[in-house]
Structure 1
Amino acid sequence: MRRRVLLLVAATTTLVLVAFLVPLALLVKNVAADRAVQRATVEAQAMTSFVATTDRQALAASVREVDSSSAYDVSVFVDGEVLGAPASRSPLVTLAESGVSQSGAVAGGREIVFAVDRSDGPTAVIRTFVSDTELAAGVPRAWLLLGALGVALLLVSLLVADRLARTFVRSTVDLAAVSHRLGRGELAARADTSAPGELGVVATALNGLAGRIDGLLREERETIADLSHRVRTPLTSLKMEADALGDPEAAERIGARVDAVNRVVTDVIHQARRRGDPPAVADAAEVVTDRVAFWAVLAEDTERDLTVDVAAGPLPVALPRTDLEACVDALLGNVFAHTPHGTAFRVALAARPAGAVLTVEDAGPGLPGGDALLRGVSGSGSSGLGLDIVRRAAERTGGTVRFDRAGTGGLRVVVELLGPR
């Protein structure tokens, strides 16, 4: 935008300067020529009195003196001779001998002739020649000054336009930056409403939109918190009734299901609360190393071979540490939940220019039927929220989750986690 404004101002200013300076330059040239012709005419007219009355010998001496002191070539045609500066008999001179005084353009300049009636003989002709150089005396310097003035005016206009363009561009860039911050979840970001013109209106509208979104999220969190209290009350009653059952096995099974629902409700509340929080950053290398070390004890107890390949950190990703830990725990927990004892698995974390890629693969039976990312869909009676947690964690960073068949025949889960922007 700034470049376009400068180009527009440069083009407009150039057109205005051309329309103003070109006629002015031509006027300067004409004025200089008229001034030179006028001065030559005055000099020629000043000679008419003594040319008309002076005798031939004195006239020759006077004409030589005038020619030597004048800036122009001065000649007098009398009795077929040329006194003063050498000159040929031009048509204007011939015409002047008949009594007609005038001036006209000739090769190399301009000729001015005056007819003078002498008292002792035929008509004499005073000729003054103004060369092209004398006609244009001072014109190049004047044109140079006009050109310098034009360049100076153009530079001043570009400087003023650049200052104005910077103001508009800065306001536009600030608006874009605020929009990106809002897109990353920084709902406290606000645009400067003092921006000029329509940009200030856009900034005000953007701030209103951000405030509305923030208010809606706050209402959503309050609604979910209220819903959680309403749900937990009957769940607590159900847990107490389960504990009162005479069958300990059934009581334990129902209690486990109630605890699972409680965990789901808690997870939903936490997700809703984090939705309005500013984005956090976690070191993926550190978190994956810690969680793998935690699960390695269970892997050893269940006789599972564990292969770990974690790239050197830090590997920052745009996710809170608790969410990243929950993501890793969900992936590793699924390995233990859906594969037989003794099944080997591998955990790898690779660095990428935009973040990191976490890969968990096992040698088990593979992905069960259905979409494991959907709530409530699982082949082992779980809530199915494990891989849904993984998906939400990846999407929160702007990444993706991909399911493949591992080389060992089991499931490979590849989680792309993008870094902070």
Structure 2
Amino acid sequence: MRSRLTLLVAATTVLVLLAFLVPIALLLRQVARERAIGQASAVVQTIVPLALGDPNALRLAVTGQAVPVTVFLPDGTAVGAAATATPAVRLAAASGQTLTVATSAGRELVVPVVGTAGTSVVRTVVTEADLTRGVSRAWLTLAALGAALLLLGLLVADRLARAITAPITELSEVSHRLAGAELTARAAPAGPPELREVAGALNHLAGRIQDLLAAERERVADLSHRLRTPLTALRLEAESLRDPEESARVAAAADGVARAVTAVIQQARRTSSVAVQSCDATAVVGGRVAFWRVLAEDTGRTVTESLPDGPLPVAVAADDLAAALDALLGNVFAHTPDETPFAVTLTARPGGGAILTVADEGPGFPASAARRGASGGDSTGLGLDIARQVATSFETTGGPGGAIVRLELPGP
């Protein structure tokens, strides 16, 4: 925008300068011509009274003039600058009229002087150099003046454009910062009234977004906190089970849900960015597969597990990775019949990170299930989206032969 405003002012200034300077330049050339011819006419007029007088006085008068003067006497002799009788001289002698004729050398001025002995003709020539003397310098002065005015116009236009575009650039930067979740960013009202109004509206929108997010965080935290009561009851029920192993397993599951609820509350109230966390993907995936293996045995499912022999660090928090894998395995148990086998594979990714693949031999899922909130199995449709949030690349394939979900986890 700044360059366009400058270009617009430059074009307008050039047009205005051309409209004024070109006529002035032509006028200066015309004035120079008329001045040169006027000076020559004045010289001729001083010679005319002497044309019929004493030849010696006439010879002295034509000598040393600013322009070359020749007087053709009636007897055919010429006094003054050496010259031959031109057609203009003969015509003036015959007609008795003053003539100004354009020639290759410039302008020829002839004045007849009628006397008793005949007609004398006073002739002078104004050369092209005399006609244009001083014009080139005047034109250069006008060109320099035009260039100076153009530069001044460009400078003023640049300052004006900068005053207009600077607030727009700041508004753009603030909007990008808001889009990057920097909700404390605010625009300083500056520039024209319209831009100040836009800045105020943007600041009001940012504040409104902050208020809405804060209310949403508190609402999520409140809803999550309500789960603690049924979790406490579930833990008490687990402790009342007669089978110690069954009691320990149910209590561990209740503790896991309690930790997840606590993590939800902490994340909901997190208002500032935190350092990127990492974990050992091998340990986390192995632990979650071991947890789900018990339920798989109860439902007759075969579990195939393929994990690296050593630690595999990834730039994902352990709780987030566990939640993502739980969401994927929960989908397997929720949307495939009992005795449907599934496999969990974890491999190192070239360049750092890991690749996590969960595959089953169930009926698969439609393509719409990959969208957040979309489900074809009477669920919330958030499972795949939870898994997608921890991955740098997320791919799903599904059909009658089964479903495959592939996640690429970033390296630390």
- The answer to whether the Cα contact below 8 Å between 1:347 and 1:358 also exists between their aligned partners in 2 is yes
Q: 1:261 to 1:221 in 2, by over 3 A?
A: same
SS at match of 1:282: coil
- CA shift digits 1:303-355 (9 cap, x unpaired): 965337999x9x9xxxxx6x64333334566899979999773333345xxxx
CA distance in 2 between counterparts of 1:62 and 1:372 reads 111
Q: 1:386 to 1:260 in 2, by over 3 A?
A: farther
In the TM superposition, 1:91-240 aligns within 5 A as: 91=88, 94-95=91-92, 98-118=95-115, 121-236=117-232, 238-239=233-234
Q: 1:205 to 1:418 in 2, by over 3 A?
A: farther
In the TM superposition, 1:242-281 aligns within 5 A as: 242=237, 245=240, 247=242, 255=251, 258-259=254-255, 261-274=257-270, 276-278=271-273, 280=274
- The answer to whether the Cα contact below 8 Å between 1:10 and 1:158 also exists between their aligned partners in 2 is yes
- The answer to whether the Cα contact below 8 Å between 2:284 and 2:321 also exists between their aligned partners in 1 is no
Q: 1:373 to 1:262 in 2, by over 3 A?
A: farther
User: Match of 1:34, as an amino acid?
Assistant: E
> Which stretch of the first structure deviates more once superposed, 178-187 or 200-209?
200-209
* Corresponding position: 1:282 with 2:276: yes
> Which stretch of the first structure deviates more once superposed, 339-348 or 178-187?
339-348
CA distance in 2 between counterparts of 1:19 and 1:12 reads 11
Structure 2: state its 5+ residue gaps: 294-303, 334-339
Alignment correspondent of 1:89: 86
- CA shift digits 1:236-280 (9 cap, x unpaired): 3x2465267465578667656654554453343334324x434x5
> Which stretch of the first structure deviates more once superposed, 161-170 or 36-45?
161-170
Structure 1: state its 5+ residue gaps: 316-320
The alpha carbon displacement at 1:390 in A equals 2.3
- CA shift digits 1:70-102 (9 cap, x unpaired): 2x3311121123322304333365235544334
The alpha carbon displacement at 1:130 in A equals 0.7
- The answer to whether the Cα contact below 8 Å between 2:217 and 2:269 also exists between their aligned partners in 1 is yes
Alignment correspondent of 1:389: 386
- The answer to whether the Cα contact below 8 Å between 1:110 and 1:132 also exists between their aligned partners in 2 is yes
CA distance in 2 between counterparts of 1:136 and 1:296 reads 99
> Which stretch of the first structure deviates more once superposed, 207-216 or 126-135?
126-135
- The answer to whether the Cα contact below 8 Å between 1:97 and 1:124 also exists between their aligned partners in 2 is no
CA distance in 2 between counterparts of 1:125 and 1:103 reads 13
Output the TM-score relative to the length of structure 1.
0.74
- CA shift digits 1:203-253 (9 cap, x unpaired): 1111111111111111112223333344434543x2465267465578667
- The answer to whether the Cα contact below 8 Å between 1:116 and 1:126 also exists between their aligned partners in 2 is yes
The alpha carbon displacement at 1:167 in A equals 3.1
Q: Which of 330, 355, 358 lines up with 1:359 in the alignment? A: 355
Q: 1:385 to 1:131 in 2, by over 3 A?
A: closer
Q: 1:369 to 1:39 in 2, by over 3 A?
A: closer
Q: 1:310 to 1:76 in 2, by over 3 A?
A: farther
User: Match of 2:321, as an amino acid?
Assistant: V
- CA shift digits 1:137-166 (9 cap, x unpaired): 111111112112212221221222222223
RMSD: 4.5
* Corresponding position: 1:401 with 2:394: yes
The alpha carbon displacement at 1:172 in A equals 2.1
Sequence identity percentage? 38
SS at match of 2:349: strand
SS at match of 2:102: strand
Output the TM-score relative to the length of structure 2.
0.75
Alignment correspondent of 1:318: none
CA distance in 2 between counterparts of 1:348 and 1:5 reads 55
Q: 1:295 to 1:239 in 2, by over 3 A?
A: closer
Equivalenced residue count is 387
- The answer to whether the Cα contact below 8 Å between 2:343 and 2:360 also exists between their aligned partners in 1 is yes
